Each structure stands twice: as structure tokens, then as C-alpha cells.
Amino acid sequence: MSAKTKPRTPKKKKSEEKPRCGLCGKTKKLTKTECCGQWICDDEDKYVIFSYARNSCSRNHSRFTLCGYHHTEEHEGSWKDCPICRNGFETEMYVYYGTNEYNFEKLENPPAYLPTKCVKCGVIISLGYDGYSIKGGEYWCEECSNKEMEKLHTRKMP
């Protein structure tokens, strides 16, 4: 061996690799999900109540996926073909919960749906990502909701 050549360190075999969070790839402070047995960050302690933050892999999977919902509600069989899960949400939310970035496996062939639109201005609202409110079964985008609330607060009492 010459002075320039360093001895090669053998690569770790796949079976010796550290487990990684299936969502973010981190290798520290992991646990397995109760629903599907996947490695995930043990990080629910990072979540601040009522912050609506999406900074916890564990919380995101358990609360924003069909897999997590199916397990929490103790449904039988697989979440992928569960009729109770399918009928438990509007189609847009069913598709969101089955295909978003918090899933280890995504719903194959999700059903089509018409976009949700603000009853006031007509803008498309993405129910899984956008802010909105519901009044009398009608959807209001965040901007129109805020304007409506401002009107209510500025009215003078008789």
C-alpha cells in the first residue's frame, strides 16, 4: 500500500443501516407508528397546542392520513379499501388524507372530485391546505371569511 492510499472502510450492509423516519429521513429519536409499523420521528412533543403547526412527523401521520384515522377509529381491514373511511369524508378530503406528504403509502387511483369554490368570490379552495370557513354548508375562502368577520365586528349595536 502506498503512502497516498488509505485503507478502505467497508460499507455497512443494508441490515446494519440505522432506521430512518419514512417521512423526513431523520435517524434520531424514532418510534414505530401504531397504525402501520413504520419508522417515524418521535416528535409530538414539538407541537404547540392550537398552533396548527405541521412540524411533527408523528402527529402529521396520525392526524392527517387515512392510515392514522383508520387505526384511531379501530376500523377492520386495510384503510385503502375501507368503506367507513371512504364515506367518512367529503371526496376532496378523502383524497387529501390518502395522498398527502404525510403518508408512507398513497391511495392508488383516488376518486375524482369537483374543486371547492368560495361561495362569495368563486376562488378555488384547497380544503387540505387553505384556510376557509363553513357557514350553512357553504365554503368561504379565508379572505372573504375575514372580510365578513370585519363587517360583523364594525356594526354598531342598537
DSSP 100-149: STT-SSPPSSPPP-PPEE-TTT--EE-TTTS-EEEETTEEEEHHHHHHHH
- For residue 52, the model assigns a pLDDT of 82
C-alpha to C-alpha distances, 149 to 133, 135, 146, nearest whole angstrom = 11, 12, 5
Contact 35, 68 (CB under 8 A): yes
In this structure, what C-alpha cell is assigned to residue 1? 500500500
**pTM (2 d.p.):** 0.82
DSSP-derived secondary structure letter, 35: T
- For residue 117, the model assigns a pLDDT of 98
Q: How far is CA 82 from the centre of its chain?
A: 19
- For residue 85, the model assigns a pLDDT of 97
| Residue ranges per structural domain of the chain | 19-45+54-113, 115-158
Per-residue pLDDT of the chain (158 residues; tens, 9 = 90+): 555 655 565 555 555 689 999 999 999 999 999 999 999 999 988 888 888 888 999 999 999 999 999 999 999 999 999 999 999 999 999 999 999 999 999 999 999 999 999 999 999 999 999 999 999 999 999 999 999 988 887 775 55
